[in-house]
A and B are shown apart, each in its own frame.
Chain A
């Protein structure tokens, strides 16, 4: 925005990114789900509309409303205001749970196809999104899936007590039922052979199916040492239905959390998650850790695995080095081994990460692999070095999460369309935005601007003594009506933007005096670092922008707004005598492939 020592330039709010960034949740969501709008729709009881709005960007609202990694929530402004984010993810589930039949509103494929045939490898979220986007445009999509059921890791790695199978099935069917040629139990073993089949484009959405190994003494013996994601997959397909009493889980990521909780449901009664490092260094999301600990899983810190212990070929335990760390400013500066302990166990589950693997892609197909043996994929177009071959989801850049895979799918669908229509892949449509005033009259706005002091609603769970009876019992009960009615009001409507018209301002200070969170200042312009320190309240969150107006008409000073803690109550606009401030609802239009096709249709 400004370079060190010259005064800040007036903020260019015609760039859609400026206001988009103010909507922290939407900006943080890889698929840019319009969170505030769907929360308002829920508040109005318009669950179908809320569901469909979600579906536009994230395709799987019912699934993601349960298991999304929710990058939106740490970003939520409410966290900075009262410490706890709005329960955005679980409100998504509310939309899915309370909707009626929306089948007549789902996208449909036209009878007449456009003659282009696309192959997708793997029936996970990335491929399904590609199909979701391209089927309505007349593409013929074939999805090859090695398992007997579609869903990818959503089915194999996420246990049913977190994601019930009917929810998964319904949202996958919504896509497949458009007429996708779904080839189940069909593993692709040769890319060359597939390319020879003459598809117009190939999309690789095969995930990151290889769990990392832990090569320690004793690893080669016994069958009671499992790879986490393979073990979860066997449980999902009911090939495994029991485990020993004492189970050690190695690793403390989200897969480890699913493994430990699944083990409890298959008969284990003493489950320990073994972490090499202390808390704060765990990869698992806080809420997944909480859920596991609620089920009395013990998380043991500072234990680094050293060896598997066997007695006559039977696994009897594991040896750990007990570690000590010096931590400075959140970083480990010194590591020491202080002790060694043996812990008894019947089974060990390794959950220390996963990676993508492509043994089935021949290396002479002009698909370039880098030094780590992963394909070179363009971050914008998702195309590999071989034109017409695209990657998305975990297959593209390694393990991320569902919502990223969905966005990859959207972007790859655009590229596939451009490729099939012989357009430049890099020719992406820029986002557009719309701002419309929410002013309905004197002090009346078309959004609920009264601030709710309610604290975040707690998700209620099935009682501990009942939830282990069957693997399929969904632990989270979902929000009750009372819960979600309170929770929707916690949303600050960050998309209702404070829009400033410099020439109308008479510098009466009314907005500054009323602002509850000291966001506004009229002052002499200056360099950003200087300005940030002399506002009504110092602006110490650098990721949050300052809005700076042009010179004000009466004194030439500037209006500065620190976006960080604005609660979008609209009092600045209510108190403004000249309507220099207005509350305007911002909508960003990020172009999906249907709009590329519509633009083309319009110009032709």
Chain B
């Protein structure tokens, strides 16, 4: 953390987006995380993504649970809505908010502790519901706020700073999400914004649940030799499958598709993902193959990144539920709450 405010000075060459905002306008308060924390890089990637998507900050809600990761929504988009929920319960709060107002962009920021231990049930069901949100797990394999105990995502044999290596099987949020029917699943690395920023943009624009599991090294408790979530280990073992470029609506796509290595996927708002296969053998539309590929590499200690699974046709929560388009706050009171007679009539129908 820092004791001075970030200087108001800006680079005069800093570009502005279509709304006239510069990237600095998408920043939040000064981070109080440790210097060098991967989470701060993810924050910077989120700032960049929202800036480049020309999204008005007040059309965004950022939600989180408890943990180092869950502090980070304070550090971006200070002009957005925010909710810092009970530990592990962020998905429920997003579900409620999203049910009531579906036109906003929802970003949930969670950690491996918040999502894979106390909140694993909540996480799993948000995936199942295909809730329209971007769900970021800032995954460092340790509980940073409580001094670095292993979390549920720690790899077998990973060495802690002090004490015995981890002996419990890791929970892989990516595998879990793919197997539970998620429609957009990716993994990235806080130290690779070229990969992370387009994934965030695509995840925001994807109509459904978008999970990005971001390896985000804990410089204080998990960045040493023997750790499998350090900057060095991640860089040494990263295997990128599919690199995603995000192309906004109405922007010309200038890629040569002839080689067959690049495919274009249209998202519901008219933007495109350009998927470039880094590993030609990888297919992002085959759940079983994806799980097998990831597990196979995981056994070798490799970290598979990129867009790992995508299904643009899967209906999201509102489509499944047949809910109305308008935010609930805009409905006339007599429609929102038709009265006890209407309730009695409804109940009668179930008898």
Closest Cβ–Cβ distance, residue A427 to chain B (whole Å): 44
B349 at the interface (CB under 8 A from A): no
C-alpha gap A151/B218 in the complex (Å) = 66
Closest Cβ–Cβ distance, residue A552 to chain B (whole Å): 11
Given contacts A506-B231, A509-B193, A540-B13, contact A575 B8 (CB under 8 A): no
Given contacts A554-B235, A571-B2, A575-B2, contact A510 B9 (CB under 8 A): no
B7 touches which of A80, A507, A569, A577 (Cβ 8 Å): A569
B34 at the interface (CB under 8 A from A): yes
B40 touches which of A80, A444, A569, A575 (Cβ 8 Å): A575
B6 at the interface (CB under 8 A from A): yes
Closest Cβ–Cβ distance, residue B230 to chain A (whole Å): 8
Closest Cβ–Cβ distance, residue B52 to chain A (whole Å): 14
User: Are A577 and B34 closer than 8 Å at their CB atoms?
Assistant: yes
A510 touches which of B3, B41, B193, B220 (Cβ 8 Å): B41
C-alpha gap A81/B7 in the complex (Å) = 11
C-alpha gap A565/B14 in the complex (Å) = 12
Given the complex, which residues of B lie within 8 Å of A187, measured CB to CB?
none
Closest Cβ–Cβ distance, residue B350 to chain A (whole Å): 55
When A and B form their complex, what is the total count of cross-chain residue pairs whose Cβ atoms lie within 8 Å? Answer: 104
User: Are A506 and B223 closer than 8 Å at their CB atoms?
Assistant: yes
User: Are A450 and B41 closer than 8 Å at their CB atoms?
Assistant: no
In chain A, what residue has the closest Cβ to B15?
A537
B11 at the interface (CB under 8 A from A): yes
User: Are A555 and B235 closer than 8 Å at their CB atoms?
Assistant: yes
* B-facing residues in A533-577 (Cβ within 8 Å): 537-538, 540, 554-555, 565, 567, 569, 571, 574-577
Interface centre among A554, A555, A567, by most B CB within 10 Å?
A: A554
Given the complex, which residues of B lie within 8 Å of A81, measured CB to CB?
9
Interface digits, B4-35 against A, CB 8 Å rule (1 contact, 0 not)?
11111111111000000000100000000011
User: Are A506 and B14 closer than 8 Å at their CB atoms?
Assistant: no
Given the complex, which residues of B lie within 8 Å of A451, measured CB to CB?
4-5, 7-9
User: Are A538 and B191 closer than 8 Å at their CB atoms?
Assistant: no
Question: Interface size bucket, B side?
Answer: 20 to 34
User: Are A507 and B40 closer than 8 Å at their CB atoms?
Assistant: no
In chain A, what residue has the closest Cβ to B192?
A509
Given the complex, which residues of A lie within 8 Å of B219, measured CB to CB?
506, 508, 577
Interface digits, A500-521 against B, CB 8 Å rule (1 contact, 0 not)?
0000001111101110111100
Given the complex, which residues of B lie within 8 Å of A513, measured CB to CB?
40-41, 43-44
Closest Cβ–Cβ distance, residue B2 to chain A (whole Å): 5
Given contacts A508-B219, A509-B41, A554-B232, contact A517 B11 (CB under 8 A): yes
Closest Cβ–Cβ distance, residue B164 to chain A (whole Å): 25
B1 at the interface (CB under 8 A from A): yes
C-alpha gap A92/B297 in the complex (Å) = 66
User: Are A510 and B35 closer than 8 Å at their CB atoms?
Assistant: yes
User: Are A567 and B43 closer than 8 Å at their CB atoms?
Assistant: no
User: Are B2 and A574 closer than 8 Å at their CB atoms?
Assistant: yes
A449 at the interface (CB under 8 A from B): yes
C-alpha gap A80/B35 in the complex (Å) = 29
B190 at the interface (CB under 8 A from A): yes
User: Are B36 and A449 closer than 8 Å at their CB atoms?
Assistant: no
User: Are B232 and A575 closer than 8 Å at their CB atoms?
Assistant: no
Given the complex, which residues of A lie within 8 Å of B73, measured CB to CB?
none
Closest Cβ–Cβ distance, residue A574 to chain B (whole Å): 5
B113 at the interface (CB under 8 A from A): no
A336 at the interface (CB under 8 A from B): no
B177 at the interface (CB under 8 A from A): no
User: Are A578 and B36 closer than 8 Å at their CB atoms?
Assistant: yes
Given the complex, which residues of B lie within 8 Å of A567, measured CB to CB?
7, 9
Closest Cβ–Cβ distance, residue B220 to chain A (whole Å): 8
C-alpha gap A443/B34 in the complex (Å) = 12
Given the complex, which residues of B lie within 8 Å of A400, measured CB to CB?
none
A453 at the interface (CB under 8 A from B): yes
Given the complex, which residues of B lie within 8 Å of A450, measured CB to CB?
4-5
C-alpha gap A82/B8 in the complex (Å) = 10
Closest Cβ–Cβ distance, residue A524 to chain B (whole Å): 11
B217 touches which of A508, A540, A575 (Cβ 8 Å): A508
Interface centre among A449, A506, A576, by most B CB within 10 Å?
A: A506
Given the complex, which residues of B lie within 8 Å of A537, measured CB to CB?
11, 13-14
Closest Cβ–Cβ distance, residue B272 to chain A (whole Å): 24
Given the complex, which residues of B lie within 8 Å of A555, measured CB to CB?
235
Interface centre among A81, A519, A575, by most B CB within 10 Å?
A: A575
A517 touches which of B1, B2, B10, B34 (Cβ 8 Å): B10
Given the complex, which residues of B lie within 8 Å of A508, measured CB to CB?
36-38, 41, 190-191, 217, 219, 231
Closest Cβ–Cβ distance, residue A417 to chain B (whole Å): 45
C-alpha gap A227/B251 in the complex (Å) = 67
C-alpha gap A431/B190 in the complex (Å) = 43
User: Are B223 and A516 closer than 8 Å at their CB atoms?
Assistant: no
Given contacts A518-B11, A554-B231, contact A569 B4 (CB under 8 A): yes
C-alpha gap A550/B191 in the complex (Å) = 19
Closest Cβ–Cβ distance, residue A357 to chain B (whole Å): 47
Given contacts A508-B191, A508-B217, A569-B4, contact A516 B10 (CB under 8 A): yes
Closest Cβ–Cβ distance, residue B136 to chain A (whole Å): 16
In chain B, what residue has the closest Cβ to A77?
B9
User: Are A509 and B44 closer than 8 Å at their CB atoms?
Assistant: yes
Given contacts A518-B11, A574-B35, contact A510 B4 (CB under 8 A): no
Given contacts A449-B4, A509-B44, A509-B193, contact A516 B231 (CB under 8 A): no
User: Are A575 and B4 closer than 8 Å at their CB atoms?
Assistant: no
C-alpha gap A555/B238 in the complex (Å) = 12
User: Are A453 and B231 closer than 8 Å at their CB atoms?
Assistant: no
C-alpha gap A444/B7 in the complex (Å) = 16
Given contacts A513-B41, A554-B231, contact A507 B14 (CB under 8 A): no
Closest Cβ–Cβ distance, residue B239 to chain A (whole Å): 16
User: Are B36 and A506 closer than 8 Å at their CB atoms?
Assistant: yes
Given contacts A80-B12, A443-B2, contact A510 B36 (CB under 8 A): yes
User: Are B191 and A507 closer than 8 Å at their CB atoms?
Assistant: yes
C-alpha gap A516/B8 in the complex (Å) = 7
User: Are A576 and B14 closer than 8 Å at their CB atoms?
Assistant: no
Closest Cβ–Cβ distance, residue B345 to chain A (whole Å): 57
* B-facing residues in A131-147 (Cβ within 8 Å): none
C-alpha gap A450/B37 in the complex (Å) = 22
In chain A, what residue has the closest Cβ to B6?
A516
C-alpha gap A586/B235 in the complex (Å) = 35
C-alpha gap A554/B220 in the complex (Å) = 18
In chain B, what residue has the closest Cβ to A513?
B44
* A-facing residues in B212-271 (Cβ within 8 Å): 217, 219-220, 223, 231-232, 235
B4 touches which of A453, A507, A518, A571 (Cβ 8 Å): A571
Given contacts A513-B41, A537-B14, A554-B231, contact A576 B8 (CB under 8 A): no
C-alpha gap A451/B8 in the complex (Å) = 7
Interface centre among B5, B7, B14, B43, by most A CB within 10 Å?
A: B7
Given the complex, which residues of B lie within 8 Å of A82, measured CB to CB?
9
User: Are B231 and A507 closer than 8 Å at their CB atoms?
Assistant: yes
Given the complex, which residues of B lie within 8 Å of A518, measured CB to CB?
11, 14
User: Are A575 and B14 closer than 8 Å at their CB atoms?
Assistant: no
User: Are A443 and B3 closer than 8 Å at their CB atoms?
Assistant: yes
Given the complex, which residues of A lie within 8 Å of B2, measured CB to CB?
443, 514, 571, 574-575
A577 touches which of B1, B5, B12, B35 (Cβ 8 Å): B35
User: Are B232 and A506 closer than 8 Å at their CB atoms?
Assistant: yes
Given the complex, which residues of B lie within 8 Å of A519, measured CB to CB?
11
C-alpha gap A334/B113 in the complex (Å) = 74
Interface centre among A443, A451, A513, A516, by most B CB within 10 Å?
A: A513
What are 9 A-B pairs at a CB distance below 8 A? A443-B3, A444-B3, A506-B223, A508-B38, A516-B24, A517-B11, A518-B11, A571-B2, A577-B219
Extra A-B contacts (6), CB below 8 Å, given A509-B44, A577-B35: A449-B4, A450-B4, A507-B191, A510-B36, A510-B37, A565-B11
Q: Which 6 A-B pairs have the closest CB atoms?
A: A577-B36, A451-B7, A513-B44, A577-B219, A508-B36, A537-B11
A contact set with B: CB distance below 8 Å: 80-82, 443-444, 449-451, 453, 506-510, 512-514, 516-519, 537-538, 540, 554-555, 565, 567, 569, 571, 574-578
